[in-house]
Homo-oligomer: A and B are copies of this chain.
Amino acid sequence: MSYGGIEAGGTKWVCAIGTGPDELRDVVTFPTTTPEETIGRAAEFFSQNGKVAALGIGSFGPVDLHRGLITTTPKPGWANTDVVGALRDALEVPVVFDTDVNAAAVGEQRWGAALGLDTFCYITVGTGIGGGVMAGNELVHGLVHPEIGHMLIRHDRERDPFDGVCPFHGDCFEGLASGGAVRARWGKPGEELGGDPRVWELEAQYLAHGVVNVVCATSPELVILGGGVMKQLSLLPLVRKHVDALLAGYVTAPPIVSPALGDRAGVLGAIELAHRAVA
């Protein structure tokens, strides 16, 4: 029995069929254009590659998980898109819908860094910052779903006068520490900034503040830090150092690690969501 998975990003969609990292057939990636075209390509891909038992989707957001919608995204044409309905109608299989980061958390739990854990966080630091939270072996959904990128963190404007890039909150966690913030603050993207210690020391401090607040709010056994910004390899040890300093021994710092599945965590997690839905 095979399962379908979609990592539905704002830039590209990754679709795959399989049962896990060692049995992943027919991976396809295409750009996110209009909803009709993008969802149509996904439907076509799954139709042409043999029956799947269920389909899991890890989506960019914000999403309405109850109704299966992408909601108030600024991405042109995508606001209030009924992704689940369209794919359920096309494929006639059960469709599970969650956030991209929740899907990645599930992938890491099933095959990656969080194997065997039931309470942990997956944080991705890319163009934006998102976070998936697993607690007691269940993804945290609640009123909507966690929006870790929009926590408010400390911002010393004397040291860093940058206003932040979040259109809603300015200098929230994402506004100060996302890849978009790095690019806007320093005038070029992180991958072109080399090992400049000013850049990564400041970035590590902001990431540590975000991690500390997640640790205090959810007491994870592990924090996974993924996303493009974390490809700067000097960053993870710096984040760990600052987390330890900020927690000051009162709260125990959990291990802070990279995703074991790398860029495949999302689509593999989507496959596992599908599996769990019908298992």
A interface list, Cβ under 8 A from B:
62, 119-120, 131, 133, 135-136, 138-155, 168-169, 209, 212-214, 216-221, 246-252, 254
Contact = CB atoms under 8 A, between A and B. Distances in A.
A135 B219 CA distance: 12
B219 A252 contact: no
Given A136-B136, A209-B152, A219 B168 contact: no
A231 B142 CA distance: 28
Stoichiometry, copies per complex: 2
5 contacts: A119-B143, A133-B135, A136-B139, A138-B138, A152-B209
Contacts of A248: 168-169
Contacts of A138: 135-136, 138
A107 to B, nearest CB: 19
Nearest to A223: B143
B152 A246 contact: yes
Given A135-B136, A152-B212, 12 more contacts: A135-B140, A140-B219, A141-B219, A143-B221, A144-B219, A146-B216, A146-B219, A151-B217, A152-B154, A152-B209, A152-B213, A214-B217
Given A119-B141, A169-B246, A250-B169, A147 B213 contact: no
Contacts of A62: 250
A144 B150 CA distance: 24
Nearest to A214: B217
Contacts of A120: 142
Contacts of A216: 146-151
A166 B4 CA distance: 50
B221 A146 contact: no
A131 to B, nearest CB: 8
Nearest to A217: B217
Contact of A151 (B119, B148, B213): B213
A220 B143 CA distance: 5
